[in-house]
Structure formats: C-alpha cells, structure tokens
Amino acid sequence: MTEKLFEKDSMLKNCTATVISCTPKDNGYLVVLDRTIIFPEGGGQLSDEGFINDARVSYAADVDEEVVHYVDKPLLVGSQVKVTLDWSVRLDHMQQHCGEHILSYAFWKECGANNIGFHMNNDVVTIDLDKELTEEDMLKAETFANAELWADKPVHVDYMMDVEAFKLPMRKKNEKLHGNLRIVSIKDGDICTCCGTHPTSTGMIGMIKILRFEKHKGGVRVEFNCGLRALRDMQLRTKTLLETSNMLSVKVEEVPAAVTKLKEEILELISKVKAKTMEIFLLQLPQIMDKAPLAVNGCKVVMVAQECDAKEAKALMQLLSAQPKVIIGIVYRSGNRVNYQFGLGEGAQGDCKAYCLAANEIFAGKGGGSAIFAQGGGIYTSDWQEKAEKLKTIILG
C-alpha cells in the first residue's frame, strides 16, 4: 500500500521515497513507491504531474490501494528517490476542485439546486445541477462564491467515522460510504466527503468565473473556470471585446447592438444576392437547356454544382423539373459537407436512386430515394465540382 502524503498535506512539494516496483509499459514504465505526493486521478480530479529523480511523471493512477506512476525512465527497485511535484499543475487542480465545492455550495445555498455531476478537464470544469436556473441565479451564485474567496476562509481536512460525519450539515450526503471518511470543510461554508487535494484557504483559489450554462437532463450544466484559468480566460475575452469595439468604432457596451445590426445587414445582402443569382439563372435557363447534353436514352442532363443552401437547391430543383424530358442533378456545398439531389422533368426517363448511389461512391456519402427523386450527402473535398462532372458523365451513360 502506498502512503498518500497528499491526503494530509496538500502543500507538500517534494518528498523522499523507496521504489517498490518498476515495470516496462508501452514506451515508458509503471513505478510504485512506498510513499508519494503525486495525486492519482480520481474523484473527478485530474492526476498530478512531476518527477521521480529525473524521470518525468506524466500521469498517476490508484490501483488496488497503490499509486502507479507513469514515467519516461526506469528506476532501480529498492533505491531511494526524490519525488518532486509540478506545483503549477497541482495548484491549478486545487483551484478548480475547491472552486467546484464552493460554487456547488453557492447554488445549493442561494438557489436550492444540488450538484449531481462534476467533470474536470484541462480546459474547463462543469457541474450538473438538478433544476433549471436563470441568468440571474447564475450571477447570484457566482457573486456568493467569490465572496467566499474574498473572506479567505480556512479549508480543513478531517477524518471521522461515518456515524459522526453524517451528523454534520453536509451539502451532499452519500450514505453508501462507510468507515473512516475524509471530510473537506470550509469554515462556515461547504462540507462534504472528498478524496481530492485542496488549498489551505479559499483565497488561494483567486477567482471563480461562470463561462456559460445550458439546459441538461431536466436541470442545467454550468461551465466555469477558477484561479489562473479564469484570469487567462477573462484576459482573452477582454482583448477580443476591445478589438471588436475598435473594429466597429463603438464603445464596448455598444458591441452587442452593433454586431446585431451588422448581422442583419449581412443577411439582407445575402438575400439580395440569392435573389439576383436566381434571376440570372432564369435568364440563362433557355441557353442551359439548349446546350444540355443528351443521355443515351435521349433525355437532356442538367448538372448544377454550386455553393448554396438546401432552400436554394430545392428552388432550383422545382425550376428545372418543370422542364420536359430532363434529368436533373444538383450538387451543392454547405460548410464541410457536399449534398446532392436528383430529379426528373416531365416525361423524362431515368433512375435517380442509381444516380444517388453513384454519388455516394464518389463523395463517400450516404443517401437514397426512388427512381424519380433521390438525395444524399457526403464529405467535402476541394475538388468537389470536378467530382460533380464525373457524376454527370455517369448519368449520361
């Protein structure tokens, strides 16, 4: 069993230990020590990083009460080693984890919402709450949580038997837990069972900032950051906002209205361009029909390959299918997809389902339909219009 020094003192940055085992694994080694300050991933918290002598520890896992360190160099079994923590990683994880406790407490205390899920990664932290909340609720909880940091309250770690622990006013009681429990408590604040590492006071967290929230399984999922992550995120957002205000020549507080106006103007221009494009196509239609090549069955084949949306493609299909004895293929790019439709004009003979299957092969896509109409979509590549010409050749027979 590995002695987990971090459980009682999260501020330890190095220690000495004895190598119990060292096993080759993939391109590295799995090392077990008799004691460690490296926290293994668990309880929603990411693994610490650091060094054992000069061997880099990239990850640690808890396996059968032993902490297994993933390192890039072998270590001699039985040797005495120095374990050094990557403090920047530890501090970040403590800020996020303790910040999650405090923000969850704020939602529980101020909004009557319970944390039913927690996830931390290297970019953001999320918590899932069991009820829907408003933007006003978010601001209230965020302000309450940061006030807990400004008070610089002590954070305590205690061990006590389950009977005594469940007498405490815990935010979240898991009565499935038994025996000697690890309790993390904030003075006059949050109390809960937890295996993670935490700072000695709330002031070390620095700040808590909610980034966004959305409805999730009858409740709400809240995405946030704490500490240095929150600071860097706010610095980036502020820089972006200032640059946007400069580009639009408006004050910062006027940016949303200016962007809304710009968006409306762009949509209006797009609408006008689409209308003009359709007018041009109508004017060119007689010439297009005159020059359309004949398939082996004597029907004209019109293949349109251009950038448009589904609504425009539908309008083109309706326009062309009104023409007699014509086989229509419309291939259009929309973002990173290429979509296609096939139809027949009055009196035309052809198999649109077969054309669609051929398009599926050419564009690595999926789709189907009937002999008179079929559609599908595939992967966009820079030569998509050349592929449309290949498809045209197939239809011609």
Residue 357 has pLDDT above 80, yes or no: yes
| Sign of the CA dihedral with 101 first, then 103, 107, and 110 last | positive
Q: Which residue has the higher pLDDT, 334 or 120?
A: 120
% residues pLDDT > 90 (the chain): 82
Residue corresponding to tokens 């290949």: 390
How much is the pLDDT for 48?
97
Residue 43 domain boundaries? 3-85
Question: Is 390 contained in some domain?
Answer: yes
How much is the pLDDT for 123?
93
Which residue among 234, 259, 281 closes a domain? 234
Average pLDDT over residues 56-72: 96
Average pLDDT over residues 37-58: 96
How much is the pLDDT for 173?
80
- Are both 217 and 120 inside the same structural domain? yes
How much is the pLDDT for 174?
79
- Are both 109 and 66 inside the same structural domain? no
Question: Is 267 contained in some domain?
Answer: no
Q: For residue 308, what pLDDT band results from cuts at 50, 70 and 90?
A: confident
How much is the pLDDT for 276?
84
Question: Is 345 contained in some domain?
Answer: yes
Question: Is 243 contained in some domain?
Answer: no
Average pLDDT over residues 67-94: 97
Angstrom distance (rounded) from CA 274 to CA 270: 6
Question: Is 255 contained in some domain?
Answer: no
Average pLDDT over residues 3-30: 96
How much is the pLDDT for 214?
97
Which residue among 85, 120, 151 closes a domain? 85
- Are both 105 and 212 inside the same structural domain? yes
Q: Which residue has the higher pLDDT, 176 or 256?
A: 256
- Write the CATH number for 335: 3.10.310.40
- Write the CATH number for 68: 2.40.30.130
How much is the pLDDT for 313?
87
How much is the pLDDT for 46?
96
| Number of domains the chain contains | 3
- Are both 141 and 71 inside the same structural domain? no
Mean pLDDT, the chain, rounded, equals 94
% residues pLDDT > 70 (the chain): 100
- Are both 78 and 135 inside the same structural domain? no
Q: For residue 222, what pLDDT band results from cuts at 50, 70 and 90?
A: very high
- Are both 329 and 378 inside the same structural domain? yes
- Per-residue pLDDT of 182-209, as tens digits, reads 999 999 999 999 999 999 999 999 999 9
Residue 309 has pLDDT above 90, yes or no: no
Angstrom distance (rounded) from CA 122 to CA 229: 9
Q: For residue 127, what pLDDT band results from cuts at 50, 70 and 90?
A: very high
Which residue among 85, 114, 145 closes a domain? 85
- Are both 15 and 125 inside the same structural domain? no
Closest CA to 359 of 386, 391, 389: 391
Question: Is 264 contained in some domain?
Answer: no
Question: Is 270 contained in some domain?
Answer: no
Question: Is 99 contained in some domain?
Answer: yes
- Write the CATH number for 161: 3.30.980.10
Residue 175 has pLDDT above 80, yes or no: no
